Amino acid sequence: MTAQQTPVQALPAVLERIDAELDNSLARLFDFLRIQSISTDPAFAPQCRSAAEHIAKDLASLGFDVSVRPTGGHPIVVAKVANGGAGPNVLFYGHYDVQPVDPLDLWETPPFEPRIATTPDGRKIIVARGACDDKGQVMTFVEALRAYKTVMGALPLSSITMMIEGEEECGSHHLFGFVKDNAAELKQDFALVCDTSMWDPTTPMVTTSIRGLVYEQVNLTCADRDLHSGLFGGAAQNPIRVLTRILSSMYDDTGRITIPGFYDGVSDLPPDIKKELASLDLTAEDFLGAVGLKAPAGEKDRLLIEQIATRPTAEINGIIGGYTGEGAKTVIPGKAMAKVSFRLVGDQDPEKIRTAFRAFVREKLPVDCSVEFGNFGGAAAVQLPFDSPALGKTRDALAAEWGKKAITVGEGGSIPIVGDFKRVLGMDTIMVGFALDDDRVHSPNEKYDLTSFHKGARSWARILAALSV
């Protein structure tokens, strides 16, 4: 123990320690994985509490001041340690709960009996529910901290706050209020999250943006009842016809969305970032082939990776109207309904998009057709500034560990809590994770590559050192 060492000075010893500790680290992860913390099933509430207490105890052993906070659902573990070292105050977020395990008969071994297996191509993997999502990923960070604690006698950075929740897999229903209620305690210089993936097994990745979302329901009404198409066909307005006409007019022939003002706040990527994305050469065959598709269907003048990660979209998520059973029924329905959502990027304003969409629909309504809208949520996109110093340090650290440039990619989906960190706490988030596409997250035989776990811990050790200067 050398109290005067900085994290940068300690790093070689820390990495050595992580290597030497691997078997013990695995044993600790296995203990965590054995806890059946299935959050969505009330029958497993005691196991969720056990998992919370397990991680709380582990963090306490590293010097954290830990509390297991009750919520209306599963508890949230909050741990804080003020190290007084150089560098920022950070919040680390992860979750201790896991997905259900059914269909159980598809598991090759019991989901809560973790084991090391070897893939046909020779990779060592950790197999268990939660091995990756998110227990394995959380423990990469914890093991990096543990190595620092051993080597330096203290943890790096000015302070580290940990928030490990237990409802991520069932909607994080109590987390949002918790963050709001404990804003002062949780707001740090920025957040770190380990719940994302690598670009591929050898290329590290920082997720720098998350698309926002506006979700709308459109209910059209024409006649005040269903009509017989023989009697009224040709004269009565058909709400399905109106709905299909309006929804299909949301797109032009190039795949661009035609709603006026839709692209306000959407910027082109910085040239270097775009060049970097282009160099990844994501092909339709690779990305779409697995689900039976061949051709990108979005804006024709954009890279596939832009279409899924950095460009806004409009999707019709559902539609229903008239007769949809077996056989024929010659009805002209009185009503038709669609669900439409928009993925947002950059500075697109969810409420402006919602208003523009509603105006777009109303403007195209014929006589004899009225509309009601339902609001099913909206969230702005989250974008980590490309010039964030912490991002640059994180990328450098990852590059040093993996021997390969760490790419920055936008996440197509939404991680709501990261949006809340930004909106409620005014805090950016750096998302680094070591999951791989074949990890079978949420599916039977979930796994985490031993390399992800081991080099993941080493990556965090390097990131913490980089952030400390």
Binders of its own copies among residues 250 to 309 (CB under 8 A) are 251, 284, 287-288, 291-299, 304, 307-308
What residues numbered 396-415 form the site for its own copies, per CB under 8 A?
411-414
What residues numbered 67-106 form the site for its own copies, per CB under 8 A?
none
Task: Return the half-sphere exposure (C-beta side, CA atoms, 13 A cut-off) of residue 146.
Answer: 21
**Residue 135 C-beta: closest distance to its own copies, Å:** 22
Using CB under 8 A, pick the residue from 1, 225, 271, 387 that binds its own copies. Answer: 225
Pick from 45, 91, 43: nearest CA to 72 = 45
Using CB under 8 A, pick the residue from 236, 266, 400, 424 that binds its own copies. Answer: 236
9 contacts its own copies (rule: CB under 8 A) = no
Phi (first) and psi of residue 38, to 5 degrees: -85, 105
Query: Which residue's CB is nearer to its own copies, number 45 or number 288?
Result: 288
Query: Which residue's CB is nearer to its own copies, number 176 or number 232?
Result: 232
Token couple for 451: 């390399």
Residue 445, judged by CB atoms within 10 A of its CB (0-12, 13-18, 19+), counts as middle
**Residue 333 C-beta: closest distance to its own copies, Å:** 8
Phi (first) and psi of residue 443, to 5 degrees: -120, 170
227 contacts its own copies (rule: CB under 8 A) = yes
Phi (first) and psi of residue 450, to 5 degrees: -60, -35
Token couple for 119: 């893939």
Using CB under 8 A, pick the residue from 28, 241, 256, 440 that binds its own copies. Answer: 241
Angstrom distance (rounded) from CA 451 to CA 3? 31
Angstrom distance (rounded) from CA 161 to CA 93? 9
Helices marked H in 34-100: 45-61
In this chain, which stretch among 13-21, 60-68, 322-330, 423-431 interacts with its own copies, using CB under 8 A? Answer: 322-330
In this chain, which stretch among 75-83, 171-179, 332-340, 384-392 interacts with its own copies, using CB under 8 A? Answer: 332-340
Site mask for its own copies (CB under 8 A), range 368-387, x = bound: x-------xx----------
Angstrom distance (rounded) from CA 285 to CA 110? 34
Number of residues that bind its own copies (CB under 8 A): 78
**Residue 344 C-beta: closest distance to its own copies, Å:** 11
Query: Which residue's CB is nearer to its own copies, number 157 or number 282?
Result: 282
Using CB under 8 A, pick the residue from 230, 271, 403, 426 that binds its own copies. Answer: 230
Task: Return the half-sphere exposure (C-beta side, CA atoms, 13 A cut-off) of residue 269.
Answer: 23
Query: Which residue's CB is nearer to its own copies, number 133 or number 143?
Result: 133
Using CB under 8 A, pick the residue from 12, 20, 323, 355 that binds its own copies. Answer: 323
Query: Which residue's CB is nearer to its own copies, number 47 or number 237?
Result: 237
Using CB under 8 A, pick the residue from 213, 218, 344, 465 that binds its own copies. Answer: 213
Site mask for its own copies (CB under 8 A), range 408-447, x = bound: ---xxxx---------------------------------
222 contacts its own copies (rule: CB under 8 A) = yes
Own/partner pairs, 15-24, CB within 8 angstroms, 24+ separation: 15/147, 15/458, 15/461, 15/462, 17/147, 17/150, 17/151, 18/143, 18/144, 18/147, 18/454, 18/457, 18/458, 18/461, 19/454, 19/458, 21/143, 21/146, 21/147, 22/454
Angstrom distance (rounded) from CA 429 to CA 417? 10
Query: Which residue's CB is nearer to its own copies, number 261 or number 322?
Result: 322
Angstrom distance (rounded) from CA 415 to CA 93? 12
